[in-house]
Structure 1
Amino acid sequence: MSIDVVASPLLDGVRHGFLGRQGGVSTGLVAGLNVGLGSADDPLAVAENRRRALAAVAPDAALVTVFQVHGIEVVTPDTAWPDDARPPADALVTDRPGLALGILTADCAPVLFADVDAGVIGAAHAGWKGAIGGVTDATITAMEGLGARRDRISAVVGPCIAQASYEIDEGFRARFVAVDIDNERFFVAGRPGHMQFDLPGYVAQRLSAAGVGRVEVLGLDTLELDSRFYSFRRATLAGEPDYGRQISLIALR
């Protein structure tokens, strides 16, 4: 099975792709293109999957990922580092050709950024904690530090858990409403005592409010599309002890 690479016209000026679980060598619970170094998968399979993922998007580039911690820290790599030396962060920006920035997800929102005129790209991991904390705002600021202009930036929110699949409790909703009463619009009623949260809609709103020139939401639900994407929540609901991670990549030409 070939690797599934989802691209966006908004990022046509750079090499990029939101990858799923198809086309890898992993087996069992994480069958497919599992790139998660933190999974219980065979490390050799994960290494091969990461090689295949990079080859599908930017074969001549060096892959750079981080140790994701659901925060807002942004790093600016000049060169690639070893996988066992990944810094704790949830976003990367660069103006260096030859580097492919990678973000791993399994329901959280991957966001890819580019100011093609400035030659500056970024990638962010936006789970709910990072999203409300401002990881996308921090990424935009870091891109500006390299010469990008936010009104020229295009940002695409990739495959993540959709509102219909993201059930939360009242305490979760209260965190967002306490920050801004307008965040109420990202919640709809679910079963008694629960609501449904629109993570991709919230991330897109943060991007637009920050002044990003063009924003797109791909609208691919990682929980619902089980043959295409890994999902932490799906694995948890099924009582499975492990789950895979997919990767989203961006690199300058």
Structure 2
Amino acid sequence: MAFQKITESDSLYNDLDKMSLREILEDINKEDQKVAIAVNKEIPQIEKLVAAIVERMKKGGRIFYLGAGTSGRLGVLDASEIPPTYGMPNTLVIGLIAGGDTALRNPVEAAEDDLEKGWKELEAYHINQNDTVIGIAASGTTPYVIGALRNARARGILTASVSCNPDSPMANEADIAIEPIVGPEFVTGSTRMKSGTAQKMVLNMITTSTMIKLGRVKGNRMVNMQLTNQKLVDRGTRMIMEELSLDYEQAKHLLLLHGSVKEAIDSFHREWRLNQ
């Protein structure tokens, strides 16, 4: 029996072009409310994956995302946000998209259909058994991703998949399958909608919880964020003011001197202990 794609099934709504604007927006929102529920059901699988990732990253491992189209863009987006948010090198969470950087803005014909391309791109990074490969595909049928997972798993590398169809071919190639089943899209087959939202939520959960467990958050604050603009300098300054009971200028001086909230606070405490 052929694999059935819920993501390609007919919308629950008809005559979209005849709806009022308010009806369109309300029905899209009604469908979006199903996404968080679907993701919630996958928390045990996400937990299993993150626990394994943290163990590996403590040994120098990395996360590799692979996807095509919207899924690939979401992986690249999530990876690109880790260095500024948590002060991590951009070599630890890496997003690969079928067709390369060109595909971030424009479709690249047949890029996702090459079964071996994904693995060849991973080999260029000297991938090893401390690493984790996460395939992202709403359909769960993308050859670029399936081939990469198959090759990685055969070599003892941890693999995971994020798709919105149950028991997909991609999931069958993964050690840990995450499958938020969000149902048919509002516009039939437009997986940039609910499926994309579900994938974005899952990727946020994976990297955010990983960074917390790796000590990149203190309390509820991004104490390792990069100071790339005045807003972030101000935010970091106020974190230090609150933590150390300093005035604004003292806190800002300390922040700019040490480059991060964490380093500023740690340095302050070290100096205080030396003077006791």
Radius of gyration: which is bigger?
A: 2
Between structures 1 and 2, the one with greater helix share: 2
TM-score by length of 1: 0.33
The TM-score normalised by the length of structure 2 is 0.31
